[in-house]
Amino acid sequence: MEPRDLSNHTPYRAGGGIEEVARELGLDPDALIKLSSNENPFGPSPLAVTAIREAATASSVYPKAGHADLTAALADRFDVDPAQVWLGPGGDGVLDYLARAMLDPGDRVLVPEPGFAYYPMSARYHHGEVDHYTLSKAEAFEQSAETLLDVYDGHRIVYVTTPHNPTGSEMSLEEIETLAADTDDDTLVLVDEAYIEFSDRPSARRLLDERDDVAVMRTFSKAYGLAGLRLGYGLVPAPWADAYERVTTPFSVSTLACHAGLAALDDHDHVERTVETARWAREYIHEELATHTWHSGGNFVLAEVGDAEAVAAATQRAGVIIRDCSSFGLPECVRVSCGTREMTETAVETLNEVIGT
């Protein structure tokens, strides 16, 4: 007995966890600063924590009402029909649902390189074939419709990440619209807005009123600080929004996640503090880090350091966990997530010492 042929499936490699690194280095976890997974340095929204406590006693019941309430709140916020809101276990789950809804076996998808590892994984699980478009380092990882259209060949899904992980570059709404207009009618432009709250640019949500070939993926993992709960959502065009009921795993979002998400949506203070601090931190890193960095619209900054694996390991030994970007195909770069002011200052100081030695 064996699983199906998984030889072209690559396991997802997450940034190092604080407990695991502390154990490995024999350090106190409290002495470590973790800036490797673009998490919220202020933790979860305090209103969400209260909601989780209160909802805990309802954990014996399937989350039908919670699901409906969160969907309605998001529909209200984005001025769409509730059917257009696809809840999922993290943005990753939403990517899976969109792949389930769109891909027939052998359909091709187009993903960015460097880029978020789960796009090709998800497409392959759903029997899709994967092609890449390159965001060129020489051009500061600039994102334009032309970059994709140069290699586009009737793909069923094209994935756009804005702000882009791990580079921080962004694609303007005009370029996304050009891309959608210049690809086939049955090509879905999937806009991953995991980091959009940190950006000054408008969401691709507004394209949904005019087009049926653009979908938006969002998450509660970053600005709302709920990465551990696994909660994300898609916003999809009305004409095919009912596909959700055919592809979703039943009750895929937990009661606790639904209640936490509802509370976090209204926790404006928490989101504001998170976003303001991230904007300060990315400028601070950009200005103070003694090496080349790229402008970022997200809550992280990409930096060129030479041997990323060695630099990330040395920085980690000095108590700051950052992301070695070798797995993104950038073995000379590290990605530093935005921390609180104190965490960010310590990280920059530590990294500067490591680079300078």
Ligand X SMILES: Cc1ncc(COP(=O)(O)O)c(C=O)c1O
- Contact residues toward ligand X (CB under 6 A) are 38, 90-92, 116, 161, 165, 192, 194, 219, 221, 227, 232
Compute the least distance from the CB of residue 353 to ligand X, in Å.
28
Instruction: Pick between residue 63 and residue 234 the one whose CB is nearest to ligand X.
Output: 234
Find the length of the chain: 357
Instruction: Pick between residue 41 and residue 355 the one whose CB is nearest to ligand X.
Output: 41
Where helices occur in the chain by DSSP H, the ranges are 18-25, 46-55, 64-78, 90-102, 118-125, 145-149, 173-182, 244-247, 255-265, 268-288, 308-317, 341-356
Matching residue, tokens 């990323």? 308
| Cβ–Cβ < 8 Å for 95, 127 | no
Compute the least distance from the CB of residue 136 to ligand X, in Å.
19
Compute the least distance from the CB of residue 194 to ligand X, in Å.
4
Measured distance CA(4)–CA(330) in Å, rounded: 31
Nearest to 173 by CA among 142, 147, 207: 207
Compute the least distance from the CB of residue 38 to ligand X, in Å.
6
Compute the least distance from the CB of residue 2 to ligand X, in Å.
29
- Radius of gyration in angstroms for the set of CA atoms belonging to the chain, rounded to a whole number: 20
Instruction: Pick between residue 18 and residue 27 the one whose CB is nearest to ligand X.
Output: 18
Instruction: Pick between residue 167 and residue 315 the one whose CB is nearest to ligand X.
Output: 167
Half-sphere exposure of 33 (CA within 13 A, CB side): 25
Compute the least distance from the CB of residue 221 to ligand X, in Å.
3
Measured distance CA(181)–CA(145) in Å, rounded: 10
Instruction: Pick between residue 128 and residue 163 the one whose CB is nearest to ligand X.
Output: 163
Measured distance CA(188)–CA(191) in Å, rounded: 9
Compute the least distance from the CB of residue 227 to ligand X, in Å.
5
Instruction: Pick between residue 128 and residue 232 the one whose CB is nearest to ligand X.
Output: 232
Burial class (CB in 10 A: 0-12, 13-18, 19+), 302: buried
Alpha carbon of 37 to those of 227, 261, 296, 334: distances in Å?
A: 10, 20, 15, 12
Instruction: Pick between residue 66 and residue 354 the one whose CB is nearest to ligand X.
Output: 66
Q: Which residue is nearest to ligand X (CB)?
A: 90
